[in-house]
Structure 1
């Protein structure tokens, strides 16, 4: 039977605050509403509910259902209202709304602000029915309440989710100069906290959903938002249709400007909410818009108008918002990076070799040496391929956040012409002939560039030299390929190929498509029975079940930065490689180099 070409097989498969209020005891008001997932939480946004509180045609039933829904959702940690709570701002309308909002008290933290239908004039208007019902006294003692402006119409709220604090500024629809100074003071009092500005009138949108600042919004932008890098998101109602845009602040960072308002929809919007689900693991905010009042009804029982309003899926209502949170907040709250760990903290009697690139004066010119810090003298020697320039291999300070050393090597390899560099052990290094019959773990930190341009298909990360046919192996793709290699396919699938020491076989592990532009930790673990590849502490799916013990090494060098074929190198690695460790036993994920304790 003809030998299957594992590489072509893969190709075919792919084709087919100024006033701070102390918290009350936890028994009265829970100190926190933790999300169900530590890196995922939701902010609920509720715009103009005015038609539900409109004199004698008021009907708060939709809002009560929305509140019931939000209270039951563990991922929702805070709700913010965008103003125009009522239609006329009368004492009767305000009182009815206030009673409805009491359903949230002590159950879900929230903020409110006044819109033009609730009040008139700017925030120096004095006492109003709105202020008596929704002023600072309503929130006093709440754990998330961080204070209010002296006039009482602007408030600040702090909540904790996803391992950090977040600030919501709820600003009056016509904030005064004094109010702006107060808001700026709140930001300066919490200089490391990312902030969301909520107000009633900031931006409007055209029919295509493209937003632009209103006259009042331009004032807010110039006087408060653009100069405070903490503000990364603004939310307002007032106008319809909904829309969004991205503005660039004075620090050169994005500020996302969003309008959400559905009062023009059936039943005055039916207390429709927008959920902003922050997913810190994916660096994304997922946005969705729906009406819990209609969602709770059986589909067959919904009227046509209810059915078309239950959820909005247009580009202004349902979308993903990619945000690299660490990078976006680095200017005012840089992530606390762990200190480098000394080699002795990650080396033990089972360590066969450990290389890192943070040594004083580490050179990478041809012939330079990278010391094996395990003490086993498996040093690496630098050699460039063909006539490659010096810049195909450089020392970099880039590194994985959990990497012991705060340095890496940047490889600028490629196919045409043969370009790149390798680091290889000496001809007599002990590592060259080790069979690892008792098991092994090979670990490496790596990062692929963004964008991942050019032809880098089948580039190698590491390998042992040697023609597999010379080891008596006939089962694989070619007798000229090495006995062990870690490679990258054209689809950015990681491929680990090993010819075991104890049998004629070539069990091959395949990963998913590796991401670009971020660091990863890769671990190849063999327990003397089977090989399993892990990426970022997660076991990949395509680990073969067939037996595999040891590595059929032939006494030839171990190589970092490329994979040989017929003892020749056609291209070098493209990207960054950080610390590399080889251990003579199978490690658990909590024993990988990423473990900090």
Structure 2
């Protein structure tokens, strides 16, 4: 049975907002959902997204991308991605995830193996480890699973970016990293976790990691979907506060607040606007997720903005406020 609070049900956690007024914030996270259609067909949209972030770097504490950077895992697409994100180097900490379209034995073979050669060629450990906030990685000289630290005021954050369908041994490693940072609040970023019905991805849902070639692995290499990740990692550690993911189509969005084993809330969000999502145009029209956290008022305002269109999305699934958010580390 899943432990969950569906989006919009408990007003003590979620209050819908109807305008995009600027808000004071102590921390801003910009989420960059799946960019695959941009790199394949509309590179100018990706460039516009990243340029906007670079132009607003002083107001941004952290940038997190949810995977599927490319559509076909080709050299041409990776060159487009690297050129875009290079604008952020040294300006603002950014975290990337590996999606199913970013790995495979050859271009167009998605997650049949865990081959991420091109990802690690264009975002090499030798360069990425020197950027702000980098902490370390699971496997030597690879960026598939990595951790970062960011400090905002008195709060120290640990960010874990995990591979698509993280293996059992990766979840065990992530748990150890969390244990080594007991005074940090934790953000987990992984490509596939939430589903479009405001629940975690699990049995019976589309696009589970288990249906890809890597899903045949067993033992410590066995893959995990969203519900598996919750059971084996997220709910066990009281300081995990956020989980961000993409990957899933249908509506492309989902929000869930669950209570972990320590009695603390975990804010879990799916955002994906790529080609194939209901109503998507030009692979998503450049929509970004912006989280403004007011650490004094204990609130999180979530906005969806496209620098390509110069517009905000006002639908309550894309623009809402979480009240009574909990930002303190768990008592040790």
Coarse TM-score class (shorter-chain normalised): 0.7 to 0.9
2:281 is equivalent to residue 281 of structure 1: no
CA distance in 2, matches of 1:323, 1:166: 19
CA drift of 1:212 comes to 3.3
Q: Which runs of 5+ in 2 are unaligned?
A: 1-22, 105-109, 204-224
- 5 Å matches for 1:509-524? none
CA distance in 1, matches of 2:258, 2:325: 16
Q: Which residue does 1:170 correspond to in 2? A: 161
CA drift of 1:182 comes to 1.6
Deviations 1:24-50 (A, max 9, x none): xxxxxxxxxxxxx99612000011110
CA distance in 1, matches of 2:127, 2:285: 25
CA distance in 2, matches of 1:281, 1:319: 18
2:100 is equivalent to residue 85 of structure 1: no
CA distance in 1, matches of 2:61, 2:122: 23
Pairing partner for 1:266 from 277, 281, 286:
281
CA drift of 1:187 comes to 0.7
Q: Which residue does 1:541 correspond to in 2? A: none
Q: Is the 8 A contact 2:64 2:95 kept in 1?
A: yes
CA distance in 2, matches of 1:150, 1:329: 28
Q: Is the 8 A contact 2:103 2:115 kept in 1?
A: no
Q: Is the 8 A contact 2:103 2:116 kept in 1?
A: no
- 5 Å matches for 1:331-342? 331-332=331-332
Q: Which moved more, 1:129-138 or 1:247-256?
A: 129-138
Deviations 1:200-250 (A, max 9, x none): 1001123xxx33333500111111101011111111001132011111211
Deviations 1:483-519 (A, max 9, x none): xxxxxxxxxxxxxxxxxxxxxxxxxxxxxxxxxxxxx
2:78 is equivalent to residue 63 of structure 1: no
Q: Which residue does 1:53 correspond to in 2? A: 39
Pairing partner for 2:247 from 238, 243, 255:
238
Q: Which residue does 1:256 correspond to in 2? A: 267
CA distance in 1, matches of 2:128, 2:136: 9
CA distance in 2, matches of 1:160, 1:66: 24
Q: Which residue does 2:322 correspond to in 1? A: 321
Deviations 1:131-182 (A, max 9, x none): 2222423312123001111162101111111332111111111211221122
CA distance in 1, matches of 2:102, 2:61: 26
CA distance in 1, matches of 2:25, 2:306: 26
Pairing partner for 2:202 from 204, 214, 224:
214
How many residue pairs end up in the alignment? Answer: 275
Q: Which has the higher contact order (CA 8 A, sep 6+)?
A: 2
Using a 3 Å threshold, how does the CA distance of structure 1 residues 123 and 254 change in structure 2: closer, same or farther?
farther
Using a 3 Å threshold, how does the CA distance of structure 1 residues 329 and 147 change in structure 2: closer, same or farther?
same
The two structures have a TM-score, normalised by structure 2, of: 0.77
Using a 3 Å threshold, how does the CA distance of structure 1 residues 282 and 230 change in structure 2: closer, same or farther?
same
Pairing partner for 1:141 from 119, 125, 130:
130
CA drift of 1:71 comes to 1.9
CA distance in 1, matches of 2:300, 2:292: 5
Q: Secondary structure at the match of 2:97?
A: coil
CA distance in 2, matches of 1:253, 1:92: 44
CA distance in 2, matches of 1:272, 1:162: 28
CA distance in 2, matches of 1:135, 1:316: 36
Q: Which runs of 5+ in 1 are unaligned?
A: 1-36, 296-309, 333-597
Cα root mean square deviation, aligned: 2.2
The two structures have a TM-score, normalised by structure 1, of: 0.44
